[in-house]
Amino acid sequence: MKAAIEYNGQMPFIGISERGHVTYYDTSEKHGGTGKHATPMDVLLEAVGACSVFDVVGILTKKRKTITKLNIEIDSVRADEYPKVFTSIHLRYKMQSPDVSQDDLEKAVQLSMDKYCSVSATLKKSGCKVTWETEIEN
Q: What tens digit of pLDDT does each residue of 69-83 get?
A: 999 999 999 999 999
pLDDT digits 0-9 by tens, 86-102 = 999 999 999 999 999 99
Instruction: Give residue limits of the domains in the chain.
Output: 1-38, 40-137
Map 94-136 to HEC letters: EEECCCCCHHHHHHHHHHHHHHHCHHHHHHHHCCCEEEEEEEE
pLDDT digits 0-9 by tens, 8-49 = 999 999 999 999 999 999 999 999 999 999 999 999 999 999
pTM of the model: 0.93
> Three-class SS of residue 92?
strand
Q: How many other C-beta atoms lie within 10 A of the C-beta of residue 135?
A: 12
- Which CATH number does the domain 40-137 belong to among 3.40.50.10860, 3.40.50.1820, 3.30.300.20, 3.40.50.300? 3.30.300.20
Q: What is the Cα–Cα distance from 22 to 15, expressed in whole angstroms? A: 6
